[in-house]
Structure 1
Amino acid sequence: MSDIKIRPVGYALGAELSGIDLSRPLSTADFETIKRALQQHLMLCFPGQQLSRDNIVDFASRFGPVDDNSTVKHRDPENPRVTMLSSKPFAGKPWDTFKNGDHWHSDRSFRPDPTAYTLLYAVEMPDVGGNTMFANQYMSYETISPKLQAFLEQLETVHLQTRKASAMMAKQFPAVVHPLIRVHPDTGRKALYLGEHARGFVGMTEEESQPLLDYLTAHATRPEFVYRHAWHVNDFVMWDNRCLMHIAVRDYDMSPGGPARHLLKCSVQGESIGRWYETVTGHKYDLEIAERSGVSQDQAAAVVGASSS
């Protein structure tokens, strides 16, 4: 019998699990308990864990194939399947306040096989702030009127790398198309699937798409759908990107030499649900639209000039 104790931490989502040491081998019974808790609560926190990089990867691999991070710059030198989310200097260069994830998003939705589960381990955290917020996308879909639901289920969304992306990533991942309403493969529940990578809808202009994207994003992140996680050192958190969006909040001292916010990240690859935009439409994503969305000329050219194969 499992000794795991589960304590909900938010109405919309989130639970804290205690009574388990994830640095030790995980029994089948404990894994099934964790998996059921994740399906119910969507985001789990295991506080007070003492984990190595290998511990993190081993645990993540129980949920599916772990991403090799071949296109990610901030790979951990001890294990390339772990990346760093950090305000500390990297590769001998001081932090320049660059920070990923500061808009609502679902991880790597710019890929045909976007991340299923994300796992973060807090190594260093400021005394105040550095929070992460999560929004339940089952709730956001289920609270939309049936008439609008029927319309949204016909739409496909264009997802594209952000303007912060490296040229290498932009070339490897040109525009991809995902269903706006996503059916979770395990629960069968429907969820909104959008975020900062969403640029528009197939068959609609940017001008037509933007007001609807703005409305849906505002609706999807209503306070009653959101849980805000205040990190502590040695928190180990995982969540399901297929039914959650999240955002890293800039609510801490970000000045050079300020307190460090340093987390280790591991990503579990998801099922392939997307198609390349060029395959769907027969042409590359419009350079002019990419430019108007805030991407520089060089980045936009890199995105639309990449092969869709």
Structure 2
Amino acid sequence: MAEILEQIEHKLKISPITPRIGAVIEGVSLSGDLESAISDQIYQALLQYKVIFFRNQTQLDDQEQERFATLLGEPVRHPTVPVAAESNYIFELDSRSGGRADVWHTDVTFIDAYPKLSILRAVVVPEVGGDTTWANTETAYEELPSSLKDLANQLRAIHTNDFDYGGYKPNADQKTLQKHKEIFVSTHYETEHSVVRIHPETGKPSLVLGQFFKRFVGLSARESSRIFDIFQERITKPENTVRWKWQAGDIAIWDNRATQHLAVNDYGDAYRLMRRVTLAGDVPKGIDGQTSITLIPEGLSTDELQQQKVNAVLNSN
């Protein structure tokens, strides 16, 4: 067994990109047929480096990307956006639809058990621009001064999908944009998370924020915004990030429990097409042991949400 593991270690070349986050892995062709010892090593590298990259994985199509994903966990669909045609779990990121995720976020934190990791495949990329940047939320917490750590440990925050998510193509058709927004918020979700969660596998604390954040529990929107900015700036400072220049066929896998990411919206009308699979996560536990709470258990449709707001106004009079 030791000899087999040694051979695998020699086969996979793992090269860190920055001291805090990111590594490139070479010497493997990803597929659903990988030996478990290899997929296990990939998973351990993910836990260590937070985001890992593979070049030239052009053999993967939607189906094979989904098959590979099952080696690392249980694929899940996006809560509101339909899957890509002829796929079971693929979330399509198509710049022609208008939406561009150019804000710092952790995927799908508006639900309680948000995904544990994401697998993103570059299908078509701009010649220039269209990079993605990731930030390490564990080192961000670790480097907080004690006063800010104490504050973060006590805070809980509400996350929602009901806001203007991401940037938009400069000259995009307004009907296309409206359709994109309506799909993303077709069902309304709100969830309360501890600002500091404990990683279920490494045991390390990290900050749970990003642009699905709505406000801190017990604080006004104005107060929340000021405190949010303090923590968010710590997370996204340059030395805590890694930036990836995409090539068609690249794969990025990130630990969604310990990172935020942002797609750089600098490529104008150039075409960018990506395919993502996310894997089921657990309900987070805070540093005090409290778990996340779903505030709207099954989600609300847009019409139901509007009626709820109207009722709240009427009942307050």
TM-score (norm 2): 0.81
Equivalent residues of 1:69, 1:83 under 8 A apart: yes
Cα-Cα RMSD? 2.4
Distance in 2 of aligned mates of 1:271 and 1:302? 32
Match of 1:76 in 2: 84
Match of 1:141 in 2: 141
Q: Greater helix share, 1 or 2?
A: 2
Is residue 15 of structure 2 the alignment partner of residue 7 of structure 1?
yes
Give the SS at the match of 1:115: coil
**CA deviation map 1:153-194 (0-9, x unaligned):** 111110011235745654634221011001111100111110
AA in 2 matched with 1:53: D
Distance in 1 of aligned mates of 2:120 and 2:32? 18
Give the SS at the match of 1:239: strand
Match of 2:203 in 1: 188
Is residue 87 of structure 2 the alignment partner of residue 107 of structure 1?
no
Is residue 310 of structure 2 the alignment partner of residue 301 of structure 1?
no
Match of 1:288 in 2: none
Query: What aligned pairs does 1:252-271 form with structure 2 within 5 A after superposition?
Result: 252=267, 254-255=268-269, 259-271=270-282
Query: What aligned pairs does 1:205-244 form with structure 2 within 5 A after superposition?
Result: 205-244=220-259
Change (3 A) 1:303 1:82: farther
Change (3 A) 1:244 1:105: same
Distance in 2 of aligned mates of 1:303 and 1:213? 27
Give the SS at the match of 1:264: strand
Is residue 297 of structure 2 the alignment partner of residue 272 of structure 1?
no
| Runs (5+) with no aligned partner, structure 2 | 1-6, 166-179, 285-291, 311-317
AA in 2 matched with 1:163: D
Is residue 41 of structure 2 the alignment partner of residue 33 of structure 1?
yes
Equivalent residues of 2:192, 2:295 under 8 A apart: yes
- Offset at residue 44 of structure 1 (A): 0.7
Change (3 A) 1:109 1:24: closer
Match of 2:169 in 1: none
Give the SS at the match of 2:133: strand
Match of 1:22 in 2: 30
User: Which is worse superposed, 64-73 or 110-119?
Assistant: 64-73
Give the SS at the match of 1:57: helix
Distance in 1 of aligned mates of 2:280 and 2:70? 10
| Runs (5+) with no aligned partner, structure 1 | 89-94, 286-296
Change (3 A) 1:118 1:299: farther
User: Which is worse superposed, 197-206 or 21-30?
Assistant: 21-30
Distance in 1 of aligned mates of 2:145 and 2:278? 34
Match of 2:168 in 1: none
Distance in 2 of aligned mates of 1:211 and 1:188? 29
AA in 1 matched with 2:280: Q
Equivalent residues of 1:167, 1:302 under 8 A apart: no
- Offset at residue 69 of structure 1 (A): 3.4
- Offset at residue 225 of structure 1 (A): 0.3
Equivalent residues of 2:159, 2:193 under 8 A apart: yes
Aligned length: 277
AA in 1 matched with 2:212: H
Distance in 1 of aligned mates of 2:16 and 2:240? 14
Equivalent residues of 1:174, 1:304 under 8 A apart: no
Equivalent residues of 1:170, 1:299 under 8 A apart: no
